Amino acid sequence: MGTALAAKTNCPLCSSPGGRLVEQASGWRVVAIEEHPLPGFHRLICSDHVQEWRHLAPAQRQEIGEALAAWEHRLTEQWQPDKFNLASFGNVVPHLHWHLMPRWRTDPWWPNPIWASPPPACAIEGGWIGDWSSSGPAARVVRQAVFVQEQQVASEDEWDAWDAVARHAVMERDQAPVATGRLLSLGDGRARIGRMSVLQGHRGRGLGSALLAALLDDAQRLEFDAVVLHAQEHAIGFYQRAGFTTLGSSFEECNMRHQLMLKTLEGRHA
C-alpha cells in the first residue's frame, strides 16, 4: 500500500464525515458537531488532504469563502447569537477545516474561545451562579420537582439546548438545592430570565426575590440593556414589584397562561 493511500485509509476525516453531515459539495462538506455542548456548532471540512489556505486553487478559495459566509448567515439567523466565531486550525488532521460557532454573552466561555476553561461559579447570598456544568446537577433537582412533577411540564419542553449557554443561579438550604433560575442572552442586547423555581416547602421565605435579584445583577454585569421573561399569570404581581412591566396579551406556554414582561436595566436603554 502506498504512503498516500495508507494515510487516507487511516485518516478519520476520510473514513467518516466528522459529524452529522448537513451539506456536501465536490470539494468540501459541512457537518454539525453534536457532541459539543455549544448549540449550532458546525465545521466546514475540505474533502482532500489540504492543510493550508494558500494551497487551495483561487476558485476553491472563492467557493469556500462564499460557503463560509452563507453558513455564518444561516446559523446567525437560526440561533440569534451575540457574536459569531470563525476559526481554522487543522493541526492534527490533514484536512483544512473551519469551526463555525455562534456565541452568547451568557455562554460558559464568553468572551474567551470555547476551548478555554470556563470560569468558576460566582458566590451569591445563599448559593452561587455559574454555567450548566457547575450548576446543572443542582438546578435539575429543583426544576424536575417544580416543573416536571408539580406542574406537569413535558420533559422535552423543560430540558433544551439553551441550558448549555445560559447562566444558572442556585440557592441552597442545609446544603441542598431549593431554588434556581437561568439567564440567557437573546443576542439583541436583551437577556431572558427563565426557569425560576422554588421547591414547594421553601416558598414564601424570600428566596424567589433573592434569586431574581442575583440574576438581574448578573445581567447588569454583562451589560444587557434589558431583561425579559415569560411570567406565569399567578406570578405577574411578583415581577411587577421587581420593576417589570407587561407587554402585549397573555399567551399559552406549556399548557399554562403566561405574560411577556420587560425590565430596562438601570443606566442602560432598551
- 75: amino acid identity, one letter: L
Segment 160-198, tens digit of pLDDT: 999 999 999 999 999 999 999 999 999 999 999 999 999
* Alpha-carbon span 80 to 69, nearest angstrom: 16
Q: What is the mean pLDDT of residues 98-118?
A: 96
- pLDDT for the residue numbered 12: 87
The rounded mean pLDDT for the chain is 93
pLDDT digits (tens, 9 = 90+) for 10-49: 788 898 999 999 999 999 999 999 999 999 999 999 999 9
Domain coordinates in residue numbering, the chain? 3-103, 122-264
Has residue 9 got a pLDDT over 90? no
Give residue 78's identity as a one-letter amino acid code: Q
* Helix, strand, coil shares, percent, the chain, to 5: 35, 30, 35
pLDDT above 60: residue 56 = yes
Q: What is the pLDDT of residue 93?
A: 82
Give the up-direction half-sphere exposure of residue 43: CA atoms within 13 A in the CB hemisphere: 20
The Cα 199–Cα 16 span in angstroms is 47
- CATH topology assigned to domain 3-103: HIT family, subunit A (3.30.428)
Residue 89 has a pLDDT of 82
Supply the pTM of this predicted model.
Answer: 0.90
Sheet holding 28-32, edge to edge: 20-24, 28-32, 42-46, 97-103, 83-88
Please, which residues bridge with residue 85 across strands?
Answer: 101
Chain-centroid distance of CA 236 in Å reads: 26
Query: Which residues contact residue 112 at a Cβ distance below 8 angstroms, ignoring those fewer than 6 apart?
Result: none
According to CATH, the superfamily of the domain at 122-264 is Gcn5-related N-acetyltransferase (GNAT) (3.40.630.30)
Q: Give dist(CA 138, CA 133) in Å, integer.
A: 10
Distances, alpha carbon 229 to alpha carbons 113, 194, 195, 238, 242, in Å: 29, 6, 10, 12, 12
